[in-house]
């Protein structure tokens, strides 16, 4: 087979049409295809994939594994076109774990972050970062999603955010608590008062009225972490902005588990009370089924939906 660069372009088009962004993977694949074309080979083999993946020679093994993973995905695609293509097996190169352990922020941690953001200059920059970090922490959004919010995406009357073209090209709506709606509305009033004629349709704006840049947010946040005195117990990596999303997920899970335990206890007491009534016994004081009636009502509604 010849024309690996053309085949790589077709492969990327196909994958991206399925919703995969393939940003750095696309760059690596272009380099791999150019390497194969320069070698003048007719078919992709494991030897060629390994030779390219192990460049540069002094790179970390995890980087070699990443490069080989790119070559493997392309080889799988080519094998449907050219059956003689060799697909590198998984774990051909040892890949040490590179998964980052997220930092779970406590409420005091977030308060320290917001205080550090409030000390930024000028005033509107501080206001924007405080509101942005606060929104990410309570809505569980990705930072890029929050930065991309336009004015039309923030419905303060309905208390809804519309996230457009996010991961895998999907869109979704995020409901907001009334306190979050109030905070966003207050920010919007201050923003519009400072700059009545916006330069951008963005909800969150920079000090000069333009859309925030994701790269700038990623640069500012580590500074806020240092000023807040936050440090990961693993000490290998500082707390990240994306860890606020992990914190939201963990907090929500804990609340659901706790709420579920309370509901199960309430249902147990309710069943006991029903047995007592059937047997003619009564309990003094508060009715055994009276606590946590909201849990019972919630489960009753779930039952109605199932029917």
Provide the b/e sequence for 212-235 (b: ≥16 CB within 10 Å): beeeebeebbeebbeebebebeee
Its sign, for the CA torsion 50, 53, 57, 63, is negative
Task: Give the span between the Cα atoms of 307 and 302, in whole angstroms.
Answer: 9
Distance set, CA 234 to CA 102, 105, 211, 230, 307 (Å): 10, 14, 34, 12, 49
* DSSP letter (8 states) at residue 153: G
Q: Is the dihedral of CA 150, 156, 124, 108 positive or negative?
A: negative
Residues serving a catalytic function are: 142, 167
Q: Compute the distance between CA of residue 151 and CA of residue 203 in angstroms, rounded to an integer.
A: 5
Contact status, residue 270 vs residue 288, Cβ threshold 8 Å: yes
Strand order in the sheet with 160-163: 154-155, 160-163, 172-175
């Amino acid at each position: 087979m010849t024309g690996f660069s053309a085949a790589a372009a077709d492969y990327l088009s196909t994958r991206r049409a399925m919703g995969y962004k393939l940003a750095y993977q696309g760059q690596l694949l272009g380099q791999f295809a150019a390497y194969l074309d320069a070698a003048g080979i007719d078919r992709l083999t494991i030897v060629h994939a390994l030779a390219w993946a192990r460049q540069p020679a002094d790179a970390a093994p995890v980087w070699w594994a990443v490069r080989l993973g790119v070559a493997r995905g392309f080889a799988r695609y080519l094998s449907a076109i050219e059956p003689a293509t060799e697909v590198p097996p998984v774990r051909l190169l040892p890949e040490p774990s590179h998964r980052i352990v997220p930092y779970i922020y406590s409420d005091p941690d977030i308060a320290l972050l917001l205080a550090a953001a409030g000390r930024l200059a000028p005033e509107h920059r501080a206001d924007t970062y405080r509101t942005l970090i606060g929104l990410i922490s309570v809505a569980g959004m990705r930072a890029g999603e929050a930065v991309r919010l336009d004015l039309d995406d923030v419905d303060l009357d309905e208390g809804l955010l519309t996230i457009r073209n996010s991961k895998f090209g999907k869109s979704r709506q995020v409901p907001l608590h009334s306190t979050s709606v109030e905070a966003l509305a207050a920010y919007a009033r201050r923003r519009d008062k400072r700059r009545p004629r916006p330069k951008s349709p963005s909800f969150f704006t920079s000090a000069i009225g333009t859309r925030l840049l994701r790269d700038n947010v990623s640069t500012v946040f580590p500074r806020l972490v240092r000023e807040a005195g936050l440090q990961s117990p693993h000490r290998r990596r500082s707390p990240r902005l994306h860890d606020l999303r992990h914190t939201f997920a963990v907090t929500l899970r804990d609340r659901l588990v706790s709420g579920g335990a309370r509901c199960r206890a309430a249902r147990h007491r309710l069943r006991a009370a029903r047995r007592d009534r059937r047997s003619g016994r009564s309990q003094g004081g508060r009715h055994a089924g009276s606590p946590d009636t909201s849990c019972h009502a919630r489960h009753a509604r779930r039952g109605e939906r199932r029917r």
